[in-house]
Chain A
Amino acid sequence: MRELLYRLKDRYHLGTPTFQRDDLTFVTVKRDELRAILTELRDVEGFTHLTFLTAVDWIEEGLFQLTYMINNREANQSLGLRVMLTREDEPGATTGDTIHDLWPTAATYQRELNEMFGINFPGSPRVDEEFILEGWTDLPPYRRDFDTLAYSQQTYRERPGRGRSDPKAHMQETLYPDYPKPREAAHAHKEEAK
Chain B
Amino acid sequence: MSLRDVLSPFTAWKHVIDTPVTIQDPFNREAADRYRGFHQNDMDKCIGCGSCEEICQNDAIDMVPVEGQNAGPGDSGLRPMIDYGRCCWCALCVDVCMTGSLTMSNEYTWVDSDPDAFRFIPGVDGKSWDLEPKGYQREDTRRLTGTTRAPMGEMEPEARIGNFDEIVDGFTREQAVIEADRCVECGLCVATCPAHMDIPDYISKVRDGDYEGGLQILYETNPFSQACGRICTHKCETTCAAMHEGDAIAIRWLKRDITDNVPRERYFDLIQKPDVPETGQKIAVIGAGPAGLTTAYDLARKGHKVVVFEALDKPGGMMRYGIPEYRLPYDVLDHEISVIESMGVEIRCNMRVGHEISMQQLEKAYDAVVLSIGLHQGRSTRVPGSEKAEAAIDLLRRITAGEEVPVPEQVAVIGGGNVAMDIARSMARLQKVKYDKVGVTITALEELDRFLADAEEIKEAQEEGCVIYPARGPQEITLEGENVTGLRTWKVKAIFDDEGRFAPKYDEADEMVHPAQMVVEAIGQMSDISLLGAELTEKLEWNRGRIMIDADGQTSEAWLWAAGDVTSGPDVIHAVADGHRVARSVGKMLATKREKLQ
Query: B-contacting residues of A (Cβ < 8 Å)?
Result: 148-149, 152-153, 156, 158-159, 161-168, 170-172, 174-176, 178-180, 182-183, 186, 189-190, 192-193
Are A159 and B83 CB-contacts (below 8 A) given A171-B187, A180-B584? yes
Are A165 and B63 CB-contacts (below 8 A) given A149-B57, A159-B116? yes
In the assembled complex, B168 has its CB within 8 A of some CB on chain A: no
Q: Which of B65, B551, B584 has the most CB of A within 10 A?
A: B584
Note all chain A residues with C-beta closer than 8 A to B280. Answer: none
Note all chain B residues with C-beta closer than 8 A to A172. Answer: 190-191, 196
Bound CA–CA A190/B48 (angstroms): 34
CB distance A167 to B196 under 8 Å?
no
CB distance B220 to A167 under 8 Å?
no
Are A192 and B58 CB-contacts (below 8 A) given A170-B71, A180-B580? no
CB distance B198 to A183 under 8 Å?
yes
CB distance B551 to A167 under 8 Å?
no
* Cβ-closest chain B residue relative to A179: B196
Note all chain B residues with C-beta closer than 8 A to A190. Answer: 274
Note all chain B residues with C-beta closer than 8 A to A168. Answer: 76, 186-188, 190-191, 200
CB distance A182 to B221 under 8 Å?
yes
Note all chain B residues with C-beta closer than 8 A to A174. Answer: 70-71, 77
Note all chain A residues with C-beta closer than 8 A to B116. Answer: 159, 161
The 3 A-B pairs at the shortest CB distance, nearest first, are namely A168-B187, A167-B76, A189-B274
In the assembled complex, B115 has its CB within 8 A of some CB on chain A: yes
State how many angstroms separate the Cβ of A78 from the closest Cβ of chain B. 21
Q: Report B298-327 CB contacts with A as 1/0, cut-off 8 Å.
A: 100100000000000000000000000000
CB distance A159 to B50 under 8 Å?
no
State how many angstroms separate the Cβ of B282 from the closest Cβ of chain A. 21
In the assembled complex, B7 has its CB within 8 A of some CB on chain A: no
Question: Out of A148, A166, A186, which one reaches B220, CB within 8 Å?
Answer: A186
Provide 29 A-B residue pairs closer than 8 Å at the C-beta atoms, listed in order of the A residue.
A152-B58, A152-B59, A158-B83, A162-B83, A164-B63, A165-B63, A167-B63, A167-B78, A168-B190, A170-B65, A170-B76, A171-B187, A172-B190, A175-B191, A176-B191, A178-B551, A179-B577, A179-B580, A182-B220, A182-B221, A182-B298, A182-B580, A186-B274, A189-B274, A189-B275, A189-B276, A189-B301, A190-B274, A192-B274
Question: Out of B59, B71, B187, which one reaches A158, CB within 8 Å?
Answer: B59
Note all chain B residues with C-beta closer than 8 A to A167. Answer: 48-50, 63, 76, 78, 186-188
Bound CA–CA A182/B65 (angstroms): 26
Q: A179-B196, A179-B580 are in contact. List 17 more A-B contacts (CB 8 A).
A: A162-B62, A163-B64, A164-B62, A164-B64, A166-B50, A167-B76, A168-B190, A170-B77, A170-B78, A172-B190, A176-B191, A179-B581, A180-B581, A183-B198, A186-B220, A189-B275, A192-B274
State how many angstroms separate the Cβ of B170 from the closest Cβ of chain A. 26
Bound CA–CA A186/B273 (angstroms): 10
**Is the contact region of chain A dominated by helix, strand, or loop, or is it mixed?**
helix
Bound CA–CA A158/B186 (angstroms): 24
* Cβ-closest chain B residue relative to A156: B86
Are A192 and B71 CB-contacts (below 8 A) given A162-B62, A167-B187? no
* Cβ-closest chain B residue relative to A187: B220
Question: Out of A171, A180, A193, which one reaches B275, CB within 8 Å?
Answer: A193
Bound CA–CA A175/B115 (angstroms): 35
Bound CA–CA A161/B275 (angstroms): 44
CB distance B187 to A152 under 8 Å?
no
* Cβ-closest chain A residue relative to B222: A182
Considering only residues 550-598 of chain B, those with a C-beta below 8 Å from chain A are 551, 577, 580-581, 583-584
Note all chain A residues with C-beta closer than 8 A to B274. Answer: 186, 189-190, 192-193
Bound CA–CA A189/B584 (angstroms): 15
State how many angstroms separate the Cβ of B217 from the closest Cβ of chain A. 8
State how many angstroms separate the Cβ of A60 from the closest Cβ of chain B. 15
State how many angstroms separate the Cβ of A153 from the closest Cβ of chain B. 6
Bound CA–CA A180/B585 (angstroms): 10
Question: Out of A152, A164, A182, which one reaches B86, CB within 8 Å?
Answer: A152
Note all chain A residues with C-beta closer than 8 A to B56. Answer: 149
State how many angstroms separate the Cβ of B104 from the closest Cβ of chain A. 19
Question: Out of B49, B58, B64, which one reaches A165, CB within 8 Å?
Answer: B64
In the assembled complex, B153 has its CB within 8 A of some CB on chain A: no
Question: Out of B57, B64, B115, B581, which one reaches A152, CB within 8 Å?
Answer: B57
Note all chain A residues with C-beta closer than 8 A to B584. Answer: 180
State how many angstroms separate the Cβ of B219 from the closest Cβ of chain A. 9
* Cβ-closest chain A residue relative to B186: A167
Bound CA–CA A192/B351 (angstroms): 37
Bound CA–CA A32/B248 (angstroms): 50
Q: Which of A164, A176, A192 has the most CB of B within 10 A?
A: A164
* Cβ-closest chain A residue relative to B581: A180
Q: Which of A152, A159, A167 has the most CB of B within 10 A?
A: A167
Question: Out of B63, B115, B298, B551, which one reaches A166, CB within 8 Å?
Answer: B63
State how many angstroms separate the Cβ of A159 from the closest Cβ of chain B. 6
Bound CA–CA A149/B187 (angstroms): 22
Are A175 and B62 CB-contacts (below 8 A) given A166-B187, A189-B275? no
In the assembled complex, B157 has its CB within 8 A of some CB on chain A: no
Note all chain B residues with C-beta closer than 8 A to A162. Answer: 62, 83, 119
Question: Out of B85, B191, B200, B580, which one reaches A171, CB within 8 Å?
Answer: B191
In the assembled complex, B257 has its CB within 8 A of some CB on chain A: no
CB distance A149 to B76 under 8 Å?
no
CB distance A159 to B191 under 8 Å?
no
Bound CA–CA A159/B85 (angstroms): 8
State how many angstroms separate the Cβ of B416 from the closest Cβ of chain A. 31
Question: Out of B63, B115, B221, which one reaches A159, CB within 8 Å?
Answer: B115
In the assembled complex, B95 has its CB within 8 A of some CB on chain A: no
Bound CA–CA A164/B253 (angstroms): 32
* Cβ-closest chain B residue relative to A190: B274
Bound CA–CA A192/B276 (angstroms): 8
State how many angstroms separate the Cβ of A136 from the closest Cβ of chain B. 16
State how many angstroms separate the Cβ of A24 from the closest Cβ of chain B. 18
Note all chain A residues with C-beta closer than 8 A to B198. Answer: 183
* Cβ-closest chain B residue relative to A178: B551
Note all chain A residues with C-beta closer than 8 A to B53. Answer: 164
Question: Out of A149, A156, A163, A176, which one reaches B62, CB within 8 Å?
Answer: A163
Bound CA–CA A186/B198 (angstroms): 14
* Cβ-closest chain A residue relative to B49: A167
Q: Which of A178, A180, A190 has the most CB of B within 10 A?
A: A180
CB distance B276 to A171 under 8 Å?
no
Bound CA–CA A159/B58 (angstroms): 13
CB distance A171 to B83 under 8 Å?
no
Question: Out of B58, B71, B301, which one reaches A175, CB within 8 Å?
Answer: B71
Note all chain A residues with C-beta closer than 8 A to B301. Answer: 189
* Cβ-closest chain B residue relative to A147: B57
* Cβ-closest chain A residue relative to B216: A186
Note all chain A residues with C-beta closer than 8 A to B191. Answer: 168, 171-172, 175-176
Note all chain B residues with C-beta closer than 8 A to A183. Answer: 198, 220-221
Considering only residues 221-272 of chain B, those with a C-beta below 8 Å from chain A are 221
